[in-house]
């Protein structure tokens, strides 16, 4: 008599917040698949739903609470994890029916909660079959992957509660990071996005210990990691793009710029400057070294003229005067950053900035936000206009369907564009053989404030 193997229990996932949280979601789902679970693309088919929350800002918390409410309404069996998990009492007060609440990076606790809510159903005979745990679940397209190199942060910025959510800096072993990167590239990743809370501080907590990799010793250090990642190759012998995010401008950052000039790294730096006014930076408890930063930016561009620098800034921080804000605008005019994001200051429960005097009125925040966006949009438009007529490498994210004339368009990105953060390169009349992940040369024909337009050249 044949044994009927029961269907695997199914898990749904809602992942909110930053790329670091997305990596956490991928790790959780990979663990669960190794335990015999399958993934559900919708609420209806899930035995339990995981909601990976964001708790960085009050607006993000409200978004997380809304997602929890939707999951409960649509499914009813919900486990909450992520950065907002440290506010379990708030979550349970709003949604007493949640099955479990765990914090950020608590992978074991999440998996245990899933086991309790929806025990694996396939039994001991199926459990003897090795599960494909060496093939990780990805929540990004096949051709790009986030590579998280550390957890936590040692900074004490007045507006931030990340250390209380994710703890102090904890660097991953460099051989483990390189092994993961090598596996991702072998599986089809054409672009590695290096992420952490502070990429420049990688290895500080372990005193930059050395590990053996490919028969040689490598330090747990950003520059060594960057150099090794730059040496990876796809099965076809091509170099993947390697993009650095969350890079604080420590002195050793200067050492990675030549690697960009040599083509080992994507010429792109994501640096969270946050402001330029010395008085605001001091209140934020960040280094007030904006003059030196301008000099270094000029030196980086001299070494690697194609480098793209992106950053984010907070407007309306407590005590920010009109003079401080104008200083920031003038600084941006000198720095000529390629990509800029701006945020209105929001008080966050537990942040030291909440106790600072002279809060900026909401209407003033809005006015300053509009001015900084206008300023940076003009800078971006001028920089992109300067690329018209150039031939640039682009990576394809999506290929469209033929229009009424049979032409096919595609959405791609240049080396100056990180996915879901920066702009796009829109290609016209692409060949039918083009596929996501292809890296091609594009002749840039036009530009606007944020995007480029062209044709494969």
Residues in binding site: 18, 54, 83, 153, 157, 160
Distance between CA atoms of residues 286 and 293, nearest Å: 13
Tokens 């809060």 map to which residue?
Answer: 359
Could you give the CA distance from residue 250 to residue 169 in angstroms, rounded to a whole number?
16
Question: Would you say the C-alpha torsion 133, 2, 114, 79 has a positive or negative sign?
Answer: positive
Tokens of 222: 């950003």
Cα 92 to Cα 448: distance, rounded to the nearest angstrom: 47
Instruction: Return the sign of the alpha-carbon dihedral for residues 124, 126, 130, 131.
Output: negative
Evaluate whether 53 touches 64 at the Cβ level (below 8 Å).
yes
Rg of the chain over all Cα atoms, to the nearest angstrom: 23
Annotated binding site for [4Fe-4S] cluster: 18, 54, 83, 153, 157, 160
Nearest residue to 416 via CA among 269, 253, 274, 316: 269
Q: Is the dihedral of CA 274, 243, 249, 225 positive or negative?
A: positive
Residue closest to 199 by CA, chosen among 236, 130, 157, 149: 149
Alpha helices in 189-321 (DSSP H): 222-229, 257-261, 278-283, 290-303
For Cα atoms 224, 437, 142, give the angle at the middle one, nearest 5 degrees: 80
Beta bridge partners of 447: 452
Residue 348, helix vs strand vs coil: coil
The first and second tokens of residue 48, run together, are 């339990």
Q: Spell out a b/e string for 277-313, using b for 16 or more CB atoms within 10 Å of the CB, else e.
A: beebbebbebebebeebeebbeebeeebebbbbbbeb
Separation between Cα atoms, residue 271 and residue 96, nearest integer Å: 40
């Amino acid at each position: 008599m044949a044994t009927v193997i029961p269907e695997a229990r199914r898990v749904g996932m809602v992942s909110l917040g930053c790329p670091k949280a997305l990596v956490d979601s991928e790790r959780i789902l990979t663990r669960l698949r190794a335990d015999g679970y399958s993934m559900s693309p919708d609420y209806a088919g899930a035995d339990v739903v995981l909601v990976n929350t964001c708790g960085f800002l009050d607006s993000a918390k409200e978004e997380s609470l809304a997602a929890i409410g939707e999951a409960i309404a649509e499914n009813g069996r919900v486990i909450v994890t992520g950065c907002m998990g440290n506010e379990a009492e708030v979550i349970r007060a709003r949604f007493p029916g949640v099955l479990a609440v765990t914090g950020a990076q608590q992978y074991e606790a999440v998996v245990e909660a899933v086991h309790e809510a929806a025990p694996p159903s396939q039994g001991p005979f199926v459990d003897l079959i090795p599960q494909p745990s060496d093939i990780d679940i990805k929540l990004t397209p096949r051709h790009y992957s986030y590579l998280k190199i550390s957890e936590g942060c040692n900074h004490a910025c007045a507006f931030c509660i990340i250390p209380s959510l994710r703890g102090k800096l904890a660097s991953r072993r460099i051989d483990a990071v390189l092994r993961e990167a090598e596996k991702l590239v072998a599986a089809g990743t054409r672009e590695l996005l290096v992420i952490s809370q502070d990429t420049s501080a990688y290895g500080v907590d372990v005193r930059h210990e050395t590990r053996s990799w490919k028969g040689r010793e490598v330090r747990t250090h950003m520059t060594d990691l960057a150099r090794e990642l730059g040496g990876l190759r796809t099965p076809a012998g091509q170099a993947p793009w390697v993009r650095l995010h969350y890079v604080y401008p420590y002195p050793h950052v200067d050492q990675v710029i030549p690697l960009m000039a040599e083509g080992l790294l994507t010429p792109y730096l994501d640096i969270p400057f946050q402001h330029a006014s010395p008085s605001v930076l001091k209140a934020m408890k960040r280094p007030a070294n904006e003059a030196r930063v301008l000099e270094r930016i000029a030196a980086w561009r001299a070494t690697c003229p194609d480098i793209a620098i992106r950053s984010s800034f907070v407007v309306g921080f407590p005590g920010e005067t009109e003079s401080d804000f104008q200083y920031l605008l003038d600084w941006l005019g000198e720095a000529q950053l390629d990509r800029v994001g701006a945020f209105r200051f929001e008080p966050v429960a537990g942040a030291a900035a909440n106790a600072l005097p002279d809060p900026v009125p909401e209407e003033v925040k809005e006015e300053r936000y509009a001015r900084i966006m206008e300023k940076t949009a003009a800078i971006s438009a001028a920089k992109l206009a300067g690329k018209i007529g150039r031939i640039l490498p682009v990576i394809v994210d999506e290929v469209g369907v033929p229009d009424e004339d049979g032409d096919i368009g595609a959405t791609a990105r240049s080396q100056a564009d990180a996915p879901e953060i920066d702009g796009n390169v829109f290609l016209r009349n692409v060949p039918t053989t083009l596929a996501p992940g292809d890296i091609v040369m594009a002749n840039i024909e036009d530009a606007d404030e944020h995007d480029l337009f062209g044709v494969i050249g």
